[in-house]
Structures are given as C-alpha cells and as structure tokens.
Copies of this chain bind each other. A is one copy, B any other.
Amino acid sequence: MGMNVVVIGGVACGPKAAARLRRLDPKAQITIVEQGEFISYAGCGLPYYVGGEVKDINGLLATPAGAVRNAGFFKKVKDIAVLTRTRAEAIDRSSKTVRLRDLASGAERRLAYDKLVIATGARPIRPPIEGLGLKGVYHLTRIEEALALRETVSRRKGGKALIIGAGLIGLESAEAFRSAGWDVQMVEMMEAPLLGLLDFEFARMVELALLENLVTIACHQRAERIEGDESGHCKRVITGGGACEADLVLVATGFRPNADLAREAGLAVGPCGGIAVDEAMRTSDPNILAGGDCVECRHVVTGKPVFAPMGSTANKHGRVIGDNLAGGHSAFPGVLGTTVVKVFNLNVGRTGLSEAQAAEEGFETVCGLAPGHDKAHYFPGAALVAVKVVAEKRTGKVLGVQAAGRGEAARRIDVGATAIAMGATVAQLANLDLGYAPPYAQAMDAIITAANVAENKIRGVARSVGPREVKRRIEAGEDFILLDVRTPAEFESGHIEAKQTMNLPLGELREKAQSVLPKDKDIVSLCKVSHRGYEAQRILAGMGYEKASYMDGGLFTWPYPEDIA
C-alpha cells in the first residue's frame, strides 16, 4: 500500500497536485474532495461562456482533446478517486483525519490521510451592501453561476446590468454583457478601474475603453444598497451618486483566500489572510501542503507575502506539491502579480510593481513610458501599445512593466516578467535579442524603447513631466509652454486645448526656437507618442534651454480626452 493522500479542493491546484503525484508515484492512494459538482474546470473562462464566445460549457470542463474531466475521467486515466458534492468540514491533525459531509445525504464521515493538500481556493468578497440576497444578484466564480447568468442575459436583449467593482471579472463581464446585447453600468470605489494594479494613466486607458464601448462607469463611488421589486428581484442600485436601474447586478468586488478550514485546524495564516506556506508549499504542519488561491505567495520583487489568485500560479503550486509529496525538492519562487486582461479591444497587462506601488515600497524610481507599434509601423494591422518600465534609480533594476493598447500587450508583459524574475537592469532589458520581423515587431520594440527611456532618465539625458502634473499646471494656470511638435495637420486633428499650448513642428524647431521660445520659461514638449517630444527636449537642451522637458507618453496616454480639441 502506498502513501494515503487527501486533496481538499477539485479545481486547478488540487487536481494538478494529484495528477503530478500520480505520475511520480504509481502506488499512492489519492482522493480529491470537492464540495461542488464540477471539478477541474477553467474558472477563468466563465465570463467568456456568459458572453457566448465560448459556446459550450463543456469547453470549460474538458481537456483540449475533448475528454470531460469528471470523476470517471480521473479514476480511469489517473487512478485518482474524486468525491464531489462532499465538503471537508474539519481537519483533525492529531488523528490525521478529515471530517467530510456528503452534501446530498447529509451523512458525515472521516477520511484518514498520511499527507493532506489544502487547495480550497478563494471566495468572492461580499461587500457591506444591503440587498445582496435579492434575485438577479450574482457572483461569477462557479459553473452554476455562469450557467444562470448566460441563461439570464440570453433570455432577453437590452436588459440593464450593473456591475459592482471594475476588477478583472467585472471588466470581462462588462464585455460579456455587452456581447449579449445588454446595457452595462459599472460602479468602482477607486478613482479608475484596476487602479490597484495599474498606474493612473494606464487605468484611465481602461476607463476610456469602457466608455468607447458604451459602458458607463462611475468611479470613486460605492454601491450602498440594492433595492428589489415586490417579487424580490433586484430593480435598482443606490450609489453615492444616485440610483441606477438594474435588471441584473454582478458583485465583482474581489476575492479573499478560503483559509477557514486551515485556520480552524490551527495552521499558520499570513497577513493577507491566506494560508502561510514555505517555498516547498508546506504549511506550518509538515504533513499538510497547500496551494492555489487559498495561500499567500512571496512577491519576487519585495519579498513580502501577497495574495495573488491566478489559475496559472495555482497550477504551478500543484506541480510543486505533487513533486514534494513524491519525495522531491521542488520550490515555488513566488509571483510578480502578473496580470493580463482584454477590455473589449484594449489589451492590458502589468507585472511586478507599478510606479505607485514601488513608491509605497520605498523605492526611488525612474519610469520609461513608450507607446510603440506592435508590428512594423507600415505592416497592415499594426497598432500602438504603450509600455511603461518602472526601474530603481540607484541600481537600474527593472521593478515593473505595464502595457496597454489596441496592439499586442501580453508579449511585452511576459518579457517584462521574465526580466524582472531574473533580476535584469534596464540596460539588460534594452539589449535583449528579441524577435524582429515586420509581422511581429518593430526593430526597436516598445519595451526596449521604454527601457532606453528609463536609462536616459537615470543618466539625466531625458527629462520628462507626467501627464497628471501637466494637467495640474494647466489647471493652475501656470506660466509655461506646452510645445506640441507635431505637424500642423496633426495638431489640427486634435490637441490639448490650453492657453499654454503652442504648435511648432519638430522640423522647424532648430530654425525657429530662438525667435519664438524664451529661455527662461518652462517648456514641455509633446507629440503623439513622446518620441518627437523627447527629440525636441534634446534639441532645446542642446540650444541652452535648460528647463526643457517633454511629456511622458505623448497624447497617446493623455488621460483627459475632454481637453482635446
């Protein structure tokens, strides 16, 4: 008889740990316990099922080869027993047993283990809002909820959906509801969507993508209560800003780790509320390992524990757990909080620390922000993607990367994630031998340019001002020149309307600067993507304009479209 392993939790980490263990140890007795009906499903795909992009729910339940991953599949293919609709209610570490309840019959029993894996995932946060129990109020984390939501949104067109929380699931669901022909409003507590993950200018790009796709979003507001009709169905949502009609409310205000079982068993829990584990995914009890959304991970840059629920991480945890259960010595190095998300036609991503997060962590940073084309600019279908590299000023180390645009973003994020994990400096990032051919990239990819910009700032060659600061100076009526160095035709097609704005094309700058630009004034140059803006700054610096700077990101990342005339 082999070692007896019980795995609590049947999605992502749990099945992965079990399957890996089986491949390494043909003799182990392995049992997965799952309280739901479905196991090993692709939870991240749920919004795409709701919106109809994924036609068949089996797509989320099956392997790429089409085999549905149910209990029978696990038994036959992997020799792993799966108990669905079975809840683990308590862990008795002294007797090494788990108390289970069969949710159909209500019967209770005990299951003994030699080694236990806790992979209980996360659960949606229930915000303090009245009316969460009304009909028509949903979360979207389980298959059953996705089935109900798809049924609801496809039953009639033109309903009104209100989404509380503009995080990943809220954003993906907004697109899903729009695809199904619904009106969508969002309410978000923070100043812009994803502001916890992205710096302001990127968060604003997300917000603008929503507006472009006719999703209304009220930022800096809380949903206070949901009101229902006589039948107990939601009808409207009262927010700080007023009332919104809503035939459907999706509560997407984030997750917290499902660590109750572990906590009640006396296992150590970390500062973010997740189970504390070491690099080997061991809990404070050497016979119990844990992984997936119920644990805390080490942040690779800060070394601090973070809660970063992500299916990709859960799978890696599962593999490490399987290895170590089989006597191996695998380690999980930690996470970078890497996130990519499609917001309608905007591709968005981030990894490592944002500029704001880096500042909170006490880093002195420089940032390179460079919008560039995702393919050669002359290649059909080329689109812009803005890439921001956050680096530590003293060492040049890359701390974070963000990307957003119609252009491909995930690739730039993955390069950033790899570079940061390996401790790269901006100079190393800038000299990477990345793939180049017109259908795939510019000769100098935006991430390379962004790294070069950061290096130029470290060396004092590039001097820039962020768009928020430019906005502040405009609104304060400060005396400076906002020098738009694009062509007159580009300028006419849309520019920042302000009394400080002046148009002088880059090609005329060397010739005319002396006659039209005073040397004692602050000059902030800009163009579409900040390339010519930077060139202008260098030209002016060379002519003795000591206060010349340029605006980061140019008009492409200007967060205030209402100022464009």
Contacts and interface: CB of A to CB of B under 8 A. Distances in A.
Interface of A: 12, 22-24, 26-27, 42, 44-45, 48, 53-54, 59-60, 62, 64-67, 73, 76-79, 168, 300, 310-316, 319, 330, 332-342, 347, 349, 351, 373, 376-380, 408, 410-411, 413-415, 417-419, 421-424, 427-428, 430-441, 443-445, 448, 452, 461, 486-487, 490, 506-508, 510-511, 527-529, 531-532, 535, 538-539, 541-543
A377 to B, nearest CB: 4
Contact of A433 (B59, B338, B377): B338
B410 A435 contact: yes
Given A45-B379, A443-B315, A65 B532 contact: yes
A120 B44 CA distance: 52
A511 B76 contact: yes
A74 to B, nearest CB: 11
Given A26-B542, A378-B60, A541-B26, A418 B440 contact: no
B421 A432 contact: yes
Contact of A376 (B44, B316, B411): B44
Given A44-B436, A340-B437, 17 more contacts: A26-B538, A26-B539, A26-B542, A26-B543, A48-B378, A62-B378, A65-B490, A65-B528, A73-B507, A76-B510, A313-B433, A314-B443, A335-B433, A349-B435, A414-B432, A417-B432, A422-B424
A209 to B, nearest CB: 14
| Identical chains bound together, number | 2
Given A376-B44, A444-B315, A437 B342 contact: yes
Nearest to A511: B76
Contacts of A23: 461, 535, 538
Contact of A379 (B48, B168, B315): B48
B42 A428 contact: no
Nearest to A462: B23
23 contacts: A23-B461, A45-B438, A54-B379, A64-B373, A64-B377, A64-B529, A65-B528, A77-B510, A79-B510, A311-B436, A312-B441, A316-B448, A333-B428, A333-B431, A338-B435, A338-B436, A340-B440, A340-B441, A414-B435, A421-B428, A421-B433, A422-B424, A422-B428
Given A67-B507, A417-B433, A440-B410, A380 B44 contact: no
Contacts of A529: 64
A82 B443 CA distance: 22
A495 to B, nearest CB: 14
A466 to B, nearest CB: 21
A443 to B, nearest CB: 4
B435 A339 contact: yes
A506 B335 CA distance: 34
B73 A336 contact: no
A339 B66 CA distance: 34
A53 B380 contact: yes
Contacts of A428: 333, 421-422
A406 to B, nearest CB: 13
Contacts of A440: 340, 342, 347, 410
Nearest to A168: B437
Contacts of A338: 433-436
A125 to B, nearest CB: 20
A321 to B, nearest CB: 13
Nearest to A440: B410
Contact of A527 (B26, B44, B65): B65
Please provide the 3 A-B residue pairs with the shortest distance between their CB atoms, ordered closest to farther.
A26-B542, A59-B378, A422-B422
Given A433-B313, A436-B311, A419 B417 contact: no
A448 B312 CA distance: 10
A2 to B, nearest CB: 10
Q: Which of A340, A410, A444, A486 has the most CB of B within 10 A?
A: A410
Contacts of A507: 67, 73, 76-77
Q: Which of A378, A431, A434 has the most CB of B within 10 A?
A: A378
Contact of A312 (B44, B48, B433, B538): B433
Nearest to A537: B23
Given A315-B443, A378-B59, A415 B418 contact: yes
A48 B67 CA distance: 42
A314 B436 CA distance: 11
A415 B413 contact: no
A415 B433 CA distance: 11
Nearest to A507: B76
Nearest to A435: B340
A443 B379 contact: no
A310 B440 CA distance: 14
Contacts of A541: 26
A376 B42 contact: yes
A377 B339 CA distance: 19
A437 B60 CA distance: 13
